[in-house]
Amino acid sequence: MTQRWTRRQTLWMLVGAAGGLALHACTPPANNQSPALGLFTWVGSTPLYIAQAKGFFQNRGLNLDIKVFSANTDANTAFISRRLDAVSPVGSEAVTLAAAGKAFRIVLVQDTSVGADGILARRSIASLSDFRGKQIAVEEGSVSHFFLLQVLDTVGLGAEDFTLINAPPDAAAAAYQAGNIPIAVTYAPYLQQANTAQPDGRIIYDSSQMPTAINDLYVFDAEYADRHPEMVEAFVAGVLEGVAFLEANPEEGVAIASPQLGIPVDELQAGLQGVRLPDLNANIEMLANAESNVYLLNTLNSLAQFLQSRNQIQQIPDLTPFIDPRFVLALRDKQSS
């Protein structure tokens, strides 16, 4: 069996851990050219592993120290305690980190979900409007929960219109697959596995229909980014070179990343179909263009409102300073000069 994909941690756990760790901050890693980056096992890291293997970081003087965290060890809490210089949270986790008082800079959008997240429903449920009064398996307070509420809002339904069955993504998919629940919210690979195994149902809605809802990010500690901007720029440039390499050489790129991620080649290929890996121009639009409908600040503010409504954060932080487009803009300027 493939190891569990641990892209998204339950936000309730992160809030509790953040409160404790913020009181016991450690000395940050004493490194310049070797920043410590905490990762989860997630397909969006594919270009990063390509960059590491092909020397795209090393060619720029960066010796990235990659630390992979399991589901039982939260990289985000290690980031708060300053045992890491960088981490790759999903957007809702980034908001929670900001609300906990962690100073960081979002320097790159790792990926955008365009089908990797979805909602499974029995065939007797004809439309989203028919979700009213139904039981829905979803992890409470997670990015999947937020996605569900966003989707239901499009048909005028809210949290009071269904019964939430609290279950993590793998368990939600399993309950649906076994016929124990009529609707489940989950993500790859559980989404596709349950959809294939349960003929009496289908993916009624997925993130390709709401492509601005879920983003994974690369963030650096604010102090590290300010002290060593050349290393952060090297990181951003290396990842983006990995994105370009994967686009031009998909089979080789997947073959490089598969053993690093511990995900079989066929599953990794399928998983990559459900995400968009933004290139330089797409990152500039998301991080620097306030007029764009994909501007990241708008998504983060919506997430913050959701988290406050669920009592997961006490106050909505000003998220504007956390978005730092200077590194992608510097790369653009270098390419155009």
Q: What are the residues whose beta carbons fall under 8 Å from the beta carbon of 44, sequence distance 6 or more?
A: 7, 88, 110, 111, 216, 275, 277
On whether the CB atoms of residues 183 and 134 are closer than 8 A, the answer is yes
The closest alpha carbon to 24, from 85, 78, 86, belongs to 78
SS3 47: helix
- pTM: predicted TM-score of the whole model, two decimal places: 0.87
pLDDT digit of tens for each residue in the chain (337 aa)? 344 455 554 444 444 444 444 434 444 454 578 999 999 889 999 999 999 999 999 999 999 999 998 743 478 889 999 999 999 999 999 999 999 999 999 999 999 999 999 999 999 999 999 999 999 999 988 889 989 999 999 999 999 999 999 999 999 999 999 999 999 999 988 999 999 999 999 999 999 999 888 999 999 999 999 999 999 999 999 999 999 999 999 999 999 999 999 999 998 999 999 999 999 999 999 999 999 999 999 999 999 998 898 888 999 999 999 999 999 999 999 998 7
Nearest-5° Cα angle at 159, 42 to 14: 40
Per 3-state DSSP, the chain is made up of helix, strand and coil in percentages (nearest 5) of: 50, 15, 35
